[in-house]
Amino acid sequence: MAGLMRRDSFDMLEPFRRLMEGDLQTAWPRVEEFQDGNTMVIRAELPGIDPDKDVDLTVVNDTLHLRATRQQRSEHKDKDSYRSEFHYGSFARTLPLPEGCKDEDISATYTDGVLEVRAPIREQAPQQATRKIPVTRSETSGSA
């Protein structure tokens, strides 16, 4: 009975241990953003999901909304024991996209547990050089 009590106490501390060790993957996916030529690339680590059922990508006002859910089950059978664990989690991220990005130009792929979203960066018209406008002073007559 003492062993069971000790194990229960340890299991209650598991989320705290993961937080202290920096393992927040169950609460927030790891995401990287970078530019590849004229394309913005967003990659999210989402292992163990079915992208057809578990991922929802939407674009609103140059913003990508990524939502995913994960349900994972592991079993360990021994001669004298059986252990089963379930991991459930949902993720949501909101990420800015290049200005003026069109939905039809954005693509997404899922390979080896990594979701990759590619959005083309539109070329912006060159900004005009700054030009200083001189202010001239007009003389007013002092007669009234």
pLDDT in tens, 50-70: 899 999 999 988 899 999 887
Q: Quick count: other Cβ atoms within 10 Å of Cβ 140?
A: 6
Domains of the chain from N-terminus onward: 27-120 (2.60.40.790)
DSSP state of 104: G
CA distance 82 to 45: 30
Global confidence as pTM:
0.60
Among residues 96, 95, 94, 44, the alpha carbon closest in space to that of 70 is found at 44
Among residues 55, 66, 56, 59, the alpha carbon closest in space to that of 97 is found at 59
pLDDT in tens, 11-32: 455 555 555 555 444 445 789 9
CA distance 122 to 102: 9
100-126 burial: b if 16+ Cβ within 10 Å, else e: ebeeeebebebeeeebebebbbeeeee
